[in-house]
Structure 1
Amino acid sequence: MTIHTLGSENTVLSKFIAEIRDKRIHTDSMRFRRNLERIGEVTAYEISKTLDYEQRIVETPLGEASVAMISDRVVLATILRAGLPFHQGFLNYFDDAQNAFVSAYRKSTKDGKFKVKVEYISCGDLEGKVLLLVDPMLATGSSLVLAYNALCERGGQPKHTHVAAVIASEQGIDYVRKNMPAETTTLWTAAVDEELTSRAYIVPGIGDAGDLAYGEKI
């Protein structure tokens, strides 16, 4: 599995990452959502370099021009709810992509542990297509792998899968590497953090992305 850490270079992406981490900015939900969206746009642009293209002729007011157009059929999928602004960033660039959504949640047990449950799936045909599976936080990796398996069970096997996260833990990356097909999976993340808490929150991370984007849940 190929892994790209986009934040390893000094670019404008560093500013967006800094702002989503900064607790002084976390009271501004609109700014938080917009930064997730912008990180999605940057990641989408980088992924676009790896897709297949074909030359097409378009007519201009003065003649014809040969242009390279994406020939891959792209499916953009996310996990509700935290994934929505990140998803929108990708959709801004892959504006004609098919969209898929998965609802997954952590079901806590009495011993303080939890299991991830997939509750809802909206997905079309995936056979032979390029799947972009995007979720801001790749913590343990179990939610993402469950979502991937559920999507494939419903829609078939994609030609290639690009997993995209804003912040990924080393444990999450390792879990995805072991539980998704290595030859047809590429992982993209803006930053990699080392530690997970006992409740599977990434440290230093950003906190709860869903709460920061849309308000605390009860």
Structure 2
Amino acid sequence: MHIHDLSKHNSILNSFIADLRDVNIQKDRMRFRRNIERIGEVLGYEMSKTLQYKDKTVVSPLGEKQTSLYQNEIVLCSILRAGVPLHNGLLNYFDDAENAFISAYRHHKQTPETFEIIVEYLACPSLEGKTLILADPMLATGQSMVATFEALRPFGKPKNIHIVSVIGAQPGVDLISKHFSQDTHLWIAAVDEDLSDKGYIVPGLGDAGDLAFGNKLQQ
């Protein structure tokens, strides 16, 4: 897997990540969502440099200009509900992309430390020969991403796969590296070292879905 960790190079992205982590700033849900959206835009821009391009003649009121435009047929798939702001950020840049949505959540068993990933709702176009972008802001254990990809298999084999996340944990990055092909690209704004006993990223930022949209109903 090709891992693009943008935190290894200083940029304005550091400010967006710092705001997301800050316990005082993240109380503003609108700002929290917007920061995730902006990170999606930055990651999408960096990802766009790896797409396939072809020259096209563009006609302006005063003449013509050769411009290289990307040719990939993109399907953007986000994991509900936390993935919505990240999806919006990517869609701001790939506005002609097809869209897919999937619900994948943790179902806790006897203890908070043990859980399985449940996939319920799924809406997806054909993926055959297309460029699939899997978007989930938090790459913690990596199990949700793996379960999502398995659920998408009946929709065809993508030509290219890009995974886009805001913050990940190293164990999650390691897990998906084992389950996705070597030519898969991971675009991520920050990678933290640890997971808590309950499988949350440390230091991370908390529950992205709750911070973006409010506390969810208890299962």
TM over 0.5: yes
| SS of 1:182 mapped into structure 2 | coil
Flag as ranges the 4+ runs of structure 1 deviating above 4 A.
none
Give the C-alpha shift of residue 147 in structure 1: 0.5
The one-letter code matched in structure 2 to 1:156 is G
| SS of 2:102 mapped into structure 1 | strand
1:150 maps to which residue?
151
Give the C-alpha shift of residue 10 in structure 1: 1.0
Gap runs ≥5 in structure 1: none
The one-letter code matched in structure 1 to 2:142 is G
State whether structure 2 residue 185 is matched by structure 1 residue 186. yes
CA distance in 2, matches of 1:208, 1:108: 15
CA distance in 2, matches of 1:26, 1:70: 36
CA distance in 1, matches of 2:185, 2:38: 20
Give the C-alpha shift of residue 152 in structure 1: 2.2
CA distance in 2, matches of 1:29, 1:192: 23
**Pairing of 1:61-80 with structure 2 (within 5 A):** 61-80=61-80
CA distance in 1, matches of 2:29, 2:43: 21
CA distance in 2, matches of 1:26, 1:92: 23
| SS of 2:92 mapped into structure 1 | helix
1:34 maps to which residue?
34
The Cα offsets for residues 79-124 of structure 1, whole Å up to 9 and x where unpaired, read as 0000000110000000000000011111111143110011011100
The count of corresponding residues between Structure 1 and Structure 2 is 216
1:90 maps to which residue?
90
| SS of 1:37 mapped into structure 2 | helix
1:49 maps to which residue?
49
Identity of aligned residues (%): 53
The Cα offsets for residues 53-95 of structure 1, whole Å up to 9 and x where unpaired, read as 0011111111211111111111111000000001100000000
CA distance in 2, matches of 1:118, 1:56: 41
The one-letter code matched in structure 1 to 2:15 is K
State whether structure 2 residue 20 is matched by structure 1 residue 12. no
CA distance in 1, matches of 2:147, 2:173: 14
CA distance in 2, matches of 1:111, 1:70: 48
1:210 maps to which residue?
209
1:101 maps to which residue?
101
The one-letter code matched in structure 1 to 2:116 is K
The one-letter code matched in structure 1 to 2:135 is V
CA distance in 2, matches of 1:7, 1:143: 23
2:81 maps to which residue?
81
The one-letter code matched in structure 2 to 1:4 is H
CA distance in 2, matches of 1:137, 1:76: 16
The one-letter code matched in structure 2 to 1:125 is S
CA distance in 1, matches of 2:73, 2:7: 27
Moved more, 198-207 or 105-114: 105-114
2:159 maps to which residue?
159
Q: What's the RMSD between the two structures over aligned residues?
A: 0.8
Give the C-alpha shift of residue 14 in structure 1: 0.5
CA distance in 2, matches of 1:73, 1:130: 6
Give the C-alpha shift of residue 148 in structure 1: 1.1
The Cα offsets for residues 136-155 of structure 1, whole Å up to 9 and x where unpaired, read as 000000101110111122x1
| SS of 1:75 mapped into structure 2 | strand
Gap runs ≥5 in structure 2: none
CA distance in 1, matches of 2:18, 2:6: 14
8 Å Cα contact 1:152/1:158 also seen in 2 = no
The Cα offsets for residues 40-63 of structure 1, whole Å up to 9 and x where unpaired, read as 000000000000000111111112
2:126 maps to which residue?
125
